Structure 1
Amino acid sequence: MLVTWMCCTVVDRPGFERGQRKWAGLLGEPGFRGQGGGWSRERPGVAHVFAFWESRSLYDSFMARSHPRLAASQSGTYRNAQSKLFDHRFDVKTGFEPRFGDTDLVRVAHCRVRVERADHFALMQEKVWNPAMAGSPGMVRGLFGQGRPDEFLVLSMWQSAAEHGKYQAERVRRLTVRAETEADVVDLSGDIVELEPAWTV
């Protein structure tokens, strides 16, 4: 499965939201699995959209055919757009499905790691971070994806900000030490996204 992540700064919120609803046109596109997104809780005016495709080839076909028409409705409503692609490596918890209806919040972490430590980073995600997240109340589902050899995405879906906040407060510092994260990671950025139900396709 291919994961696409688009982040942008919105300059015309009503126009952007009207355009976002037009992405319902994705339904029926070959290989399309689902899309959702919302607003950053930490950076006013920043929007995130996550989409899921069966394969890179089907996504490339969509980009060549239908994407320009769908994207035209949001032209001029945002700036500083960044799009990134990641291949799904494994689930966080089990049975990831690109559904957004039973979650309120997405935590996205974008990690650039030292190339020689990339295998260790992925192993620690699987053996240390995943069990901790999977066992946390309120954590619904998630995935671990890879872009370039030194670039990773951790996407986790939560029932509420309160549940995610408890996990952060109680576990993150201890898990960071145990997983030797500081030795692996060159740069870690991320956001907490409050989902907009109207954006779900």
Structure 2
Amino acid sequence: MLVKWIRCGVVDRAGFDRGQRGWAALRGQPGFRGQGGGWSRAQPGVAHIFAFWDGQRSYDAFMAGPHDGIAVAQHGTFEMLTVRLFEHRLDVKVGFEPRFDDTDLLRVALCKVRPDRVDHFTAVQERVWNPAMAGSPGMLRGVFGEGAGDDFLVLSMWDSATEHGKYRDGAVARLSERAGLDADVVSVAGDVVDVVQAWTV
């Protein structure tokens, strides 16, 4: 499975929102599995979108075909757009599905991993981080993906900001130390996203 993460700096919030609803046209595209997103809690005007495809081939076919016709509706509503692609490596909680209908909050982390620590980082993601997140009340599902240049994505879906806050405050520092995070990563950048259900496809 291919995961696409789009981050936009939005200048016309209402126009962007209208255009985002137009991505409902993705339904029925070969290889498309789901899309959702919302607004950053920490950065006003920043939107995050996550799309899921069966693989690179179906994604490339969509980009070469219908993509531009749908995207034109959002022209001029944002001034910055970054796109990153990741290959699915692990589920965070068993049986990941690209669903957003029950999700209130997303937590996304982009980890730049030291090249000689990739194997260790992946192993502790499976042995330390994933079980801790999977066992946290309110954590619904998530995905761990590998991108270009030793970049890794951790995306988790939560049923409420309250439950995510309990996990963040109670477990993250302890788990970071146990996992040896500082030795594995060059940097970790992330955000917390309030899901807009109208953007779910």
- Where does residue 68 of structure 1 map in the other structure? 68
How big is the alpha-carbon RMSD for the aligned residues of Structure 1 and Structure 2?
0.6
How many matched pairs? 201
Q: CA deviation at 1:151?
A: 0.8
In 2, Cα distance between the equivalents of 1:174 and 1:197?
33
Q: CA deviation at 1:9?
A: 0.7
Scaled by the length of structure 2, what TM-score is found? 0.99
**Aligned AA (1:187):** S
1:3 and 1:172 map into 2 onto residues whose CA distance is 24
The offset of 1:149, in angstroms, is: 4.8
- Which runs of no fewer than 5 residues in structure 1 stay unpaired? none
| Contact 1:36-1:200 within 8 A present in 2 as well | yes
Q: Residue 190 of structure 1: SS of its match in structure 2?
A: strand
Using the size of structure 1 for normalisation, the TM-score is: 0.99
SS at match of 2:119: helix
**What do residues 80-129 of structure 1 show as CA deviations (whole Å, max 9, x unaligned)?**
10000000001001100000011100100000010000110000100000
Distance in 2 between residues matched to 1:148 and 1:115, nearest whole Å: 12
- The aligned residue for residue 103 of structure 1 is 103
Structure 2 distance, partners of 1:45, 1:80, is 11
Alignment of 1:118-137 (within 5 A): 118-137=118-137
Aligned position for 1:82: 82
Runs of 4 or more above 6 Å deviation? none
The equivalent residue for 1:36 is 36
**Which one-letter code corresponds to 1:28 in the other structure?**
G
Task: Tell me, in whole angstroms, the C-alpha distance in 1 between the residues paired with 2:148 and 2:123.
Answer: 17
2:174 is matched with which residue?
174
User: Could you tell me how far 1:148 is from its partner in structure 2?
Assistant: 1.8
Tell me how far apart the structure 1 counterparts of residues 148 and 84 of structure 2 sit (CA, whole Å).
10
Matches within 5 A, 1:14-29: 14-29=14-29
Partner Cα distance (2:168, 2:16) in 1 = 31
Instruction: Report the counterpart of residue 48 of structure 1 in structure 2.
Output: 48
Amino acid at match of 1:96: F
Q: Distance in 1 between matches of 2:149 and 2:83?
A: 17
Gaps of 5+ in 2: none
Residue 6 of structure 1 is matched in structure 2 by 6
Counterpart Cα distance in 1 of 2:54 and 2:121: 25
Q: Secondary structure at the match of 2:148?
A: coil
Structure 2 CA distance for aligned equivalents of residues 114 and 166 of structure 1 = 29
1:159 aligns with 2:159: yes
CA contact (8 A) 1:118 1:149 kept: no
